Structure 1
Amino acid sequence: MNGLASSLAEIEALKGITGEAACDIVVCPPFTLVEKAAECAAGSVIAVGAQDCHAQAAGAFTGDVSAEMLAEIGARFVILGHSERRSAYGEADAAVARKAIAVHKAGLTSIICVGETREERDEGRAIEVVRAQLEGSIPDTATNANMAIAYEPVWAIGTGLVPTLEQIEEVHSSIRQTLERRLGEDGQGVRILYGGSVKASNAKAIFGVSNVDGALVGGASLKASEFAGIISATV
């Protein structure tokens, strides 16, 4: 929940910095800025997504936004199951899966988030927790073309704490194995993003880890200069 109309200047700045980037770049602002952000990013390498959606296309769901509505105003991606949605709003895996079906039906790409808490990590259950979230959150409509997975250890989001590269590799490897079991050959091509205190200074090392295909960036994405530093680390 960051960004007013003045924040679109950061997208303008990002357009100038990134040019012909070698990676896919997606910016997911709050609902109020999705349409303006899509207009601002038009003609550039930057795509626009949203931070959530409802599982239904329409109906008596005051305050919610559907995937079709987002598609109509220029969104191409939707983040689903972020830890803040799971913890603050009680979103269960099944609810995330229903939303993903709606996203795919609307022709958009889902970015499904999974990740363990500090307590679950300390108890040695990180792999178990993430695997269960994946299995419950991925719908039968998922393919490597319409879904990405974001691993965000809850204890690393906005805290400055980052798992070791070995810990990241262990979880991402498990995610890949789960995807291959669930989707077969398609599971090999699903992009797995790492999220949690990613910044320009640590991005290069994280991107060098096996099965890390990109990043889901939080606070560092609010400023074009910092975000561009992470983007450049993909080369």
Structure 2
Amino acid sequence: MMRKKIIAGNWKMNMTPTAAVELTNTLKPLVANEEVDVVFCVPAIDIIPVVKACEGTNIQVGAENMYFEESGAYTGEISPEMLTDAGVKYVVLGHSERREYFGETNEDVNKKVLKAFEHNITPIMCCGETLDQREQGITMDFIRQQVKVGFLNVTVDQAKTAIIAYEPIWAIGTGKTATADQAEEVCKGIRDCIAEIYDRDTAEQIRIQYGGSVNGKNAAELFAQPDIDGGLVGGASLKEDFGEIVHW
């Protein structure tokens, strides 16, 4: 089956609200491509101005994180209802930086994934191995655990609409990219894991992105792979190069 590609920019902790609107206005004509889903995942403080700047375009806006409670005494956190009210359609969950710097566990990510679905926000659930894990030959063991715990109690219908982003930690912001074959091997392994949890039909519908130093030069080869359905793009999403990736 033909899955629609999804190219999402993860801005990380960059762009003031003023700069975010300027960047959005620069990118709007460059990412106008109805054949793919285009998402800007932006810092929380930028969401409202970027949603406004994207009105009438093909760009959807996503958040970079979300808490798994509805409201309450969780200083500094952002609830799913806050995101939906602001116009958010997607949320990045379990990024390796959240796991490494802020101690997020697979169980935390699972709670967030379930809560996102409750509020009709599409989760972009990240998974990926370190260089040590790859060299030890345990890449798929590690990633399968992330996927299996991350999708605990997610229904079949929900799983079909989810997005998984495979991001080898050793390729994030390093300039090193997994080869197209390496990326395809893991993305196929993730699809097989989803088939085990649910069924082959669900696995064929779920979209799996590759992320990790994606740029205008390597996007075409990566996205040509049968199990890679687009990219979660870091640094290049903050530049005009993002247009080249969207039009690979």
TM-score band, normalised by shorter chain = over 0.9
In 1, the alpha carbon distance for the partners of 2:235 and 2:112 equals 25
Q: Indicate the larger mover: 168-177 or 183-192.
A: 183-192
In 2, the alpha carbon distance for the partners of 1:139 and 1:104 equals 13
Residue 177 of structure 1 is matched in structure 2 by 192
Q: Indicate the larger mover: 61-70 or 182-191.
A: 182-191
Offset from partner CA, 1:213-232 (integer Å, 9 cap, x none): 00000000011x21000000
Offset from partner CA, 1:72-113 (integer Å, 9 cap, x none): 001000000000000111111010000011111111100000
RMSD after superposition = 1.1
Equivalent residues in 2 for 1:86-101, closer than 5 Å? 86-101=99-114
Equivalent residues in 2 for 1:35-74, closer than 5 Å? 35-74=48-87
Following superposition, which runs of at least 4 residues in structure 1 exceed 3 angstroms of deviation? none
Contact preservation (8 Å) 2:161, 2:205: no
Q: 1:116 aligns with which of 129, 142, 148?
A: 129
Contact preservation (8 Å) 2:20, 2:50: no
Contact preservation (8 Å) 1:172, 1:212: yes
- State the secondary structure of the residue aligned to 1:210: coil
Contact preservation (8 Å) 2:125, 2:165: yes
Residue 20 of structure 1 deviates from its aligned partner by 3.8
Residue 2 of structure 1 is matched in structure 2 by 14
Offset from partner CA, 1:167-202 (integer Å, 9 cap, x none): 111101100001112232222101000000000011
Q: Unaligned regions of 5+ residues in structure 2, if any?
A: 1-12
Residue 13 of structure 1 deviates from its aligned partner by 1.8
Q: 1:215 aligns with which of 224, 227, 231?
A: 231
Q: Indicate the larger mover: 53-62 or 7-16.
A: 7-16
- State the secondary structure of the residue aligned to 2:70: coil
Contact preservation (8 Å) 2:106, 2:146: yes
In 2, the alpha carbon distance for the partners of 1:16 and 1:164 equals 30
Indicate whether 1:194 and 2:206 are aligned: no
In structure 1, what residue type is equivalent to 2:232? L
In 1, the alpha carbon distance for the partners of 2:76 and 2:175 equals 33
Residue 221 of structure 2 is matched in structure 1 by 205
Residue 10 of structure 2 is matched in structure 1 by none
Residue 145 of structure 1 deviates from its aligned partner by 4.8
Q: Indicate the larger mover: 17-26 or 44-53.
A: 17-26
Q: Indicate the larger mover: 6-15 or 205-214.
A: 6-15
Number of equivalenced pairs: 232
In 2, the alpha carbon distance for the partners of 1:136 and 1:162 equals 26
Contact preservation (8 Å) 2:33, 2:246: no
- TM-score with structure 2 length normalisation? 0.91
Residue 163 of structure 1 deviates from its aligned partner by 1.4
- State the secondary structure of the residue aligned to 1:27: strand
Q: Percent identity?
A: 36
Q: 1:158 aligns with which of 173, 184, 204?
A: 173
Indicate whether 1:11 and 2:27 are aligned: no
Q: 1:26 aligns with which of 15, 33, 39?
A: 39
- State the secondary structure of the residue aligned to 2:218: helix
Change (3 A) 1:80 1:151: same
In 2, the alpha carbon distance for the partners of 1:222 and 1:64 equals 25
- TM-score with structure 1 length normalisation? 0.95
In 1, the alpha carbon distance for the partners of 2:49 and 2:152 equals 30
Indicate whether 1:232 and 2:244 are aligned: no
- State the secondary structure of the residue aligned to 1:200: coil
Indicate whether 1:132 and 2:145 are aligned: yes
Q: Unaligned regions of 5+ residues in structure 1, if any?
A: none
